[in-house]
């Protein structure tokens, strides 16, 4: 593979940007924290250290008594809570530190530490396994080289800022990310099979937001895949819902209400976000204005109404799979309410396919390499403090990465739209001349 000049050039461009910009932030961190001795959050792109791994503990705590919905402890989909229930069983339920309000004490407990590290280890191993297996099957004639490249790309994805942020939170999104990556490679290798829509359905059943990507099948009129995915989502969700205490209807009612009530757009939404709602909050903060929620919601709604039809219309006939997945996934991440940094891990799937694609590198594709590499590196160089008069908590701070990531997503799908419009204009000119 590396003998191919174009392919080698693609990897050099991507990894040069990724390694160079990541190294720049590491140097920035060392100067600010180690040399200047500045306190968190300066020089850091992770969440509050005192809140580390809280997503993992919170969800496990919510499911340990098998009553997450009626007790209003969680609004996560039932399938991912079923998965979390298995990890909660590895922990000491009677231990006081199990309560997520005592995180620093909890992590010292042997059972809790084992459960957490098992979860994170599985995420790392499965990500690497999927990458390498794809390389083994796709590049049989150059197996060793392909294996090494795929392994290195997998390691890069795991070490990226969104991935580190996700592991630092202990977020169960890791399960969905692994499934999403598996879906992309299976869709690439077996485009006519039914395994891919089942995997995508499991993504939806564990995190809901990928239902946006599932619409790809409908817009391309792949009805068999569409209905296979929808049936799988319904079946797995209802089956998992039967695990919880209380009646099925009560649990469904509480779950739906919890989902519909999620996604507020106050200060908390701008701490480490990458989407449109965070971008709105960032501008309010820069202007020194208390966030006006109705404006943020109006901008979010308008963006969704405009961008969603454009995205699916332009990609419906896109034959390059990584481009199709990349644009729609970027829109999903950008438009998700309170889309935190770890949501950029969804981009692993199209980025991996792009980097493993051996077709001739077009100059028009270089911007995708650069934008995607930048999405994966930390960029929290400047924090904006809270508006005077509010309590000085980390959650009320925001940093420049919030705006940079959102603008990178806009650049990505905006560039794709520009390409498609240019193509249509060229075709129209040719038809007029003819």
Predicted confidence at residue 106, as pLDDT, reads 67
Residue 269 predicted with pLDDT over 60: no
Residue 111 predicted with pLDDT over 90: no
The average pLDDT across 245-249 equals 91
Residue with tokens 């942020």: 165
Q: Are 210 and 200 in contact (CB under 8 A)?
A: yes
The average pLDDT across 73-93 equals 86
Q: Say whether pTM exceeds 0.85.
A: yes
Paired residues of 384 in beta bridges? 398
Residue 419 predicted with pLDDT over 90: yes
Which among 305, 350, 304, 360 is positioned nearest to 324, based on CA atoms? Answer: 350
Residue 267 predicted with pLDDT over 50: no
The average pLDDT across 161-175 equals 95
Q: Are 166 and 174 in contact (CB under 8 A)?
A: yes
Residue 88's Cβ-count burial label (10 Å; 0-12, 13-18, 19+) is buried
Q: Name the range with the highest mean pLDDT among 60-69, 170-179, 380-389.
A: 170-179
Q: Which of 33-47, 87-101, 369-383 has the lowest mean pLDDT?
A: 87-101
- Give the model's confidence band at 164: pLDDT under 50 very low, under 70 low, under 90 confident, else very high: very high
SS3 content of the chain, % helix, strand, coil (to 5): 70, 0, 25
The average pLDDT across 49-57 equals 84
Residue with tokens 């990890």: 87
The tens digit of pLDDT for each residue in 202-212 reads 999 999 999 99
Predicted confidence at residue 96, as pLDDT, reads 38
The tens digit of pLDDT for each residue in 223-242 reads 999 999 999 999 999 999 99
Residue 114 predicted with pLDDT over 60: yes
CA distances from 160 to 18, 286, 409 (A): 9, 27, 17
């Amino acid at each position: 593979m590396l003998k191919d000049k174009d392919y080698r050039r693609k990897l050099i461009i991507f990894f040069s940007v990724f390694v160079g910009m990541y190294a720049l932030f590491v140097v920035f961190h060392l100067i600010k924290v180690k040399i200047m001795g500045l306190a968190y959050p300066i020089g850091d792109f992770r969440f509050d250290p005192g809140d580390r791994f809280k997503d993992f503990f919170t969800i496990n705590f919510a499911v340990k008594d098998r009553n997450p919905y009626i007790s209003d402890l969680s609004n996560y989909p039932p399938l991912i809570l079923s998965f979390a229930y298995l990890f909660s069983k590895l922990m000491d339920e009677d231990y006081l530190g199990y309560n997520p309000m005592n995180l620093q004490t909890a992590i010292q407990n042997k059972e809790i530490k084992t459960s957490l590290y098992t979860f994170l280890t599985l995420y790392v191993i499965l990500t690497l396994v999927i990458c390498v297996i794809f390389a083994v099957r796709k590049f049989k004639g150059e197996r060793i080289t392909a294996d090494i490249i795929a392994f290195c790309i997998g390691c890069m994805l795991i070490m990226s800022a969104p991935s580190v942020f996700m592991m630092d939170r202990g977020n169960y999104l890791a399960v969905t990310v692994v499934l999403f990556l598996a879906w992309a490679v299976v869709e690439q290798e077996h485009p006519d099979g039914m395994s891919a829509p089942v995997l995508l359905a499991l993504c939806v059943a564990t995190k809901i937001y990928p239902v946006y990507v599932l619409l790809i099948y409908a817009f391309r009129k792949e009805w068999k895949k569409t209905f296979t995915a929808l049936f799988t989502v319904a079946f797995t969700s209802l089956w998992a819902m039967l695990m919880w205490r209380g009646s099925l209807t009560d649990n469904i009612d509480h779950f739906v209400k919890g989902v519909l009530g999620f996604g507020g757009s106050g200060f908390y939404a701008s701490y480490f976000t990458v989407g449109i709602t965070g971008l709105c909050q960032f501008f309010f903060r820069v202007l020194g204005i208390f966030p006006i929620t109705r404006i943020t919601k109006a901008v979010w709604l308008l963006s969704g109404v405009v961008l969603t039809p454009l995205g699916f219309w332009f990609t419906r006939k896109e034959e390059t799979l990584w481009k199709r997945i990349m644009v729609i996934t970027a829109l999903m991440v950008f438009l998700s309410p309170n889309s935190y940094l770890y949501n950029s891990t969804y981009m692993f799937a199209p980025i991996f396919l792009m980097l493993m694609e051996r077709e001739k590198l077009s100059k028009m594709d270089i911007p995708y390499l650069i934008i995607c590499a930048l999405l994966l590196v930390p960029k929290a160089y400047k924090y904006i403090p809270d508006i005077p008069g509010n309590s000085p908590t980390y959650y009320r701070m925001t940093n420049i990465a919030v705006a940079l990531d959102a603008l990178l997503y806009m650049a990505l799908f905006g560039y794709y739209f520009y390409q498609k419009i240019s193509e249509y204009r060229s075709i129209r000119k040719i038809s007029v001349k003819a």
